[in-house]
């Protein structure tokens, strides 16, 4: 275990955590406002990556890929909320089965459209390359992911805590009925938050396609990570999603490096421990 090992693994863990934050913050927000456990959230991530891929193939523009992925999936997410999930208020099991149904449909459609081969989006040349500093080597693309996650995290935090819309969202999270009563259009907030959550996940999918790639099965592979993040951090809590992603990113990386055969175990065992001590997660409320 050299210093290089610790520096590299910590850096990789933090950058993976940054990617997870993009995915999990949306899941957490959606849960906060709508109490929906969205099992199609991993599908948004995967589909975002695929849409980005197609855009890169056509136009060669990475920025356009990010925008298109987020936009297309925002529309998909809003359609799911408006046309289907809204019919099942408060029915946890029904919502779960429905979002699974969508996840299966998305998986099959992706296979139909993009085939079974794995692809990767090559990042623009200014993000390629490696930075060397002291004992560590830091790929610029991973630094970029961390910067993006910090910027988006800060923007979400500022928007939720300091703007009028943010205050309306928080009101809807705290007590939807009361919020509706004082004239906040909660259904519209739900729609917007669902779109935003899907867009964040898809954005993460395009970014992730730069180093994880995008391939069939990515949806159900990434989904448990998002779940562990929000379980550890606490459902509906933005700071929880931040701390949770960082923790899960680090645990996953060190687990894979130190105990490759038990890597999933090293991720989930701490989750179980946190739950045993604090069933609502680190930042969750009852």
Partner 1 sequence: MRGRPIAVGVAALVAAGAVAPLLPSYPLTLLTQVAIMAVLAMSLDILLGYTGLPSLGHAAYFGTAAYAVGILATERQAGFFTCLIAGVLLATATAALFGLVAIRATGTYFLMITLALGMVVWGLAFRWVSLTKGDNGIAGVPRPDLALPWSLAAPLPFFYFALLAAALAWAALGTLARSPFGLTLRGIRESETRMRALGYDVWLHKYLAFVISGGFAGFAGVLWAWYNGFVSPVDVQLVTSVETLLMVALGGPGTLAGPALGAAVIVFLKNFVSVYTKRWLLILGAVYIGVILFAPRGVLGALRAPHR
Closest CA to 10 of 178, 96, 123, 135: 135
Q: Which is nearer to partner 1, 47 or 267 (CB)?
A: 267
Cα 40 to its chain centre, rounded Å, is 11
Q: Which residue has the tokens 């550890």?
A: 232
Q: How far is the CB of 268 from partner 1 (least distance, A)?
A: 4
Residue 183 backbone phi and psi in degrees, to 5: 95, 10
Residues 49, 214 contacting (CB under 8 angstroms):
yes
R_g of the chain computed on alpha carbons: 19
Q: How far is the CB of 138 from partner 1 (least distance, A)?
A: 27
- For the four alpha carbons of 56, 146, 42 and 251, in that order, the dihedral sign comes to positive
Q: Which is nearer to partner 1, 56 or 251 (CB)?
A: 251
Q: Which is nearer to partner 1, 148 or 271 (CB)?
A: 271
Q: Which is nearer to partner 1, 146 or 218 (CB)?
A: 218
Q: How far is the CB of 62 from partner 1 (least distance, A)?
A: 31
Q: How far is the CB of 256 from partner 1 (least distance, A)?
A: 9
Q: Which is nearer to partner 1, 188 or 278 (CB)?
A: 278
Q: How far is the CB of 248 from partner 1 (least distance, A)?
A: 11
**Token pair for residue 13?**
């863990």
Q: Tell me how far apart the alpha carbons of residues 80 and 191 are, in angstroms, rounded to a whole number.
A: 9
Closest CA to 193 of 47, 82, 69: 82
Q: How far is the CB of 149 from partner 1 (least distance, A)?
A: 22
Give me the residues that bind partner 1 (CB under 8 A), please: 31, 35, 37, 39, 84, 87-88, 91-94, 96-98, 100-105, 107-109, 111-112, 220, 223-224, 227-228, 230-231, 235, 260-265, 267-269, 271-272, 275-276, 279-280
Q: Tell me how far apart the alpha carbons of residues 51 and 121 are, in angstroms, rounded to a whole number.
A: 11
Q: Which is nearer to partner 1, 31 or 50 (CB)?
A: 31
Q: Which is nearer to partner 1, 128 or 275 (CB)?
A: 275
Residues 9, 17 contacting (CB under 8 angstroms):
no
Q: Which residue has the tokens 């992603």?
A: 245
Q: How far is the CB of 113 from partner 1 (least distance, A)?
A: 12
**Token pair for residue 100?**
């699974």
Residues 78, 194 contacting (CB under 8 angstroms):
yes
Backbone torsion region of residue 247, taken as left when φ is above 0, otherwise alpha when ψ lies between -120 and 50, otherwise beta: alpha
């Amino acid at each position: 275990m050299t210093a290089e090992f610790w520096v590299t693994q910590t850096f990789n863990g933090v950058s993976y955590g940054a990617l997870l934050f993009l995915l999990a913050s949306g899941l957490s927000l959606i849960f906060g406002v709508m109490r929906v456990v969205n099992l199609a959230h991993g599908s948004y991530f995967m589909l975002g990556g695929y849409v980005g891929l197609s855009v890169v193939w056509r136009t060669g523009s990475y920025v356009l890929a990010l925008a298109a992925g987020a936009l297309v999936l925002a529309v998909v997410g809003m359609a799911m909320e408006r046309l289907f999930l809204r019919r099942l208020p408060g029915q946890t099991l029904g919502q779960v089965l429905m979002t699974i149904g969508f996840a299966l449909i998305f998986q099959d459609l992706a296979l139909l459209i993009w085939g079974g081969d794995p692809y990767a989006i090559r990042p623009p040349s200014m993000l390629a390359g490696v930075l060397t500093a002291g004992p560590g080597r830091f790929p610029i693309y991973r630094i970029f992911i961390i910067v993006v996650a910090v910027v988006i995290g800060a923007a979400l935090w500022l928007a939720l805590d300091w703007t009028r819309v943010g205050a309306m969202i928080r009101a809807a999270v705290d007590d939807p009925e009361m919020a509706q009563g004082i004239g906040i259009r909660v259904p519209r907030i739900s729609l917007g938050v669902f779109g935003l959550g899907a867009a964040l996940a898809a954005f993460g999918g395009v970014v992730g396609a730069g180093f994880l790639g995008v391939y069939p099965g990515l949806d159900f592979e990434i989904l448990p990570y998002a779940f562990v993040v929000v379980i550890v951090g606490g459902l509906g809590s933005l700071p929880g999603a931040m701390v949770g992603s960082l923790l899960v990113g680090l645990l996953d990386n060190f687990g894979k490096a130190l105990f490759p055969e038990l890597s999933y175990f090293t991720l989930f065992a701490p989750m179980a421990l946190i739950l045993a001590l604090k069933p609502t997660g680190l930042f969750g409320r009852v």
